[in-house]
């Protein structure tokens, strides 16, 4: 079969088409990122930087601690990026207190809630308490999506499966696990299609792509600009390869036909 040789003009046009398509794909991928600004070290300057970056990249949301829900709402005003309120502290907070945190986050402008489960109940296998906790916070969240946090590094696969089942039984929309492929797969199996599975602690574009391939719906990161840069750099490299093909085609078309 004969190889198809593009003219120089056709190669340029094809390269531009590929570039535009790739950039559109990257923009769609960035919409599935969550910027993690929930750490204790997040002062007002760090929060502003996180929200400005989130607006620029048009990501899904910014995860913040209870004290930063209202400031984040102001910083993200007019954008489509969600304020995601983290509730539950260390996880050992009583259910009524978590309910109050959920209601407060909603009043201050949160559009999604992230619930830290009671880790002692999770580790002990106290399924009835976990289910009750998720149900109570699900009711307090009203129409807002509720995501159960299973990101703690002390949790193994069995605890993550147990927490995922509690999320399903309690009516949560999703769980969030650490950014490891095997943990995403374990949560997907435990959830059996009933909850979305998100991934946290994503540090680079390669890890992000592997988690998406594994089935993660959203990915949480402290480094959104790094991930975006790596994606766009890869697209530029791909465009460079197309340019190399164009140059090769130009040389071929200069030769006399055999």
Domain count for the chain = 1
Confidence class of residue 247 from pLDDT cuts 50, 70 and 90?
very low
Average pLDDT value for the chain: 90
pLDDT at 8: 66
Residue 87 belongs to domain spanning: 31-152+165-222
- Is 243 a domain residue? no
Q: What are phi and psi of 37, to 5 degrees?
A: -120, 35
pLDDT at 1: 46
- Is 193 a domain residue? yes
- Assign residue 136 the CATH number of its domain: 3.20.20.70
Beta bridge partners of 174: 147, 196
79-133 residue pLDDT tens? 999 999 999 999 999 999 999 999 999 999 999 999 999 999 999 999 999 999 9
Contact, 150 vs 115, CB < 8 A?
A: no
Q: What are phi and psi of 219, to 5 degrees?
A: -130, 135
230-240 residue pLDDT tens? 999 988 777 66
Once rounded to an integer, what is the mean pLDDT over residues 147-176? 97
Q: What is the pTM of this model?
A: 0.86
**Residue 223 clears pLDDT 90, i.e. is over it:** yes
- Is 48 a domain residue? yes
- Is 230 a domain residue? no
pLDDT at 14: 62
- Is 189 a domain residue? yes
- Is 112 a domain residue? yes
- Is 82 a domain residue? yes
Contact, 209 vs 45, CB < 8 A?
A: no
104: exposed, middle or buried (Cβ count in 10 Å: 0-12, 13-18, 19+): middle
- Is 107 a domain residue? yes
């Amino acid at each position: 079969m004969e190889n198809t040789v593009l003219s120089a003009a056709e190669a340029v046009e094809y390269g531009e088409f590929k570039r535009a398509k790739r950039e559109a794909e990257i923009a769609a991928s960035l919409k599935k990122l969550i910027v993690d600004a929930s750490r204790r070290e997040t002062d007002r300057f760090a929060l502003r930087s996180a929200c400005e970056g989130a607006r620029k990249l048009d990501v899904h949301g910014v995860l913040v601690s209870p004290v930063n829900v209202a400031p984040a709402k102001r910083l993200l005003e007019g954008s489509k990026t969600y304020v995601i309120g983290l509730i539950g502290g260390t996880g050992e907070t009583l259910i009524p207190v978590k309910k109050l945190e959920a209601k407060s986050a909603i009043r201050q402008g949160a559009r999604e809630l992230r619930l830290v489960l009671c880790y002692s109940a999770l580790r002990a296998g106290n399924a009835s308490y976990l289910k009750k906790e998720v149900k109570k916070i699900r009711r307090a969240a009203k129409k807002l999506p509720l995501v159960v946090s299973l990101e703690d590094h002390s949790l193994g696969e069995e605890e993550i499966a147990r927490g995922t089942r509690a999320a399903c039984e309690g009516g949560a929309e999703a769980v969030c696990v650490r950014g490891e492929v095997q943990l995403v797969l374990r949560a997907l199996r435990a959830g059996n299609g009933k909850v979305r599975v998100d991934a946290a602690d994503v540090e680079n574009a390669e890890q992000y792509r592997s988690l998406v391939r594994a089935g993660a719906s959203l990915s949480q990161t402290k480094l959104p600009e790094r991930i975006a840069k790596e994606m766009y750099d890869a697209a530029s490299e791909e465009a460079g390869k197309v340019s190399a093909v164009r140059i090769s085609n130009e040389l071929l078309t200069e030769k006399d036909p055999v």
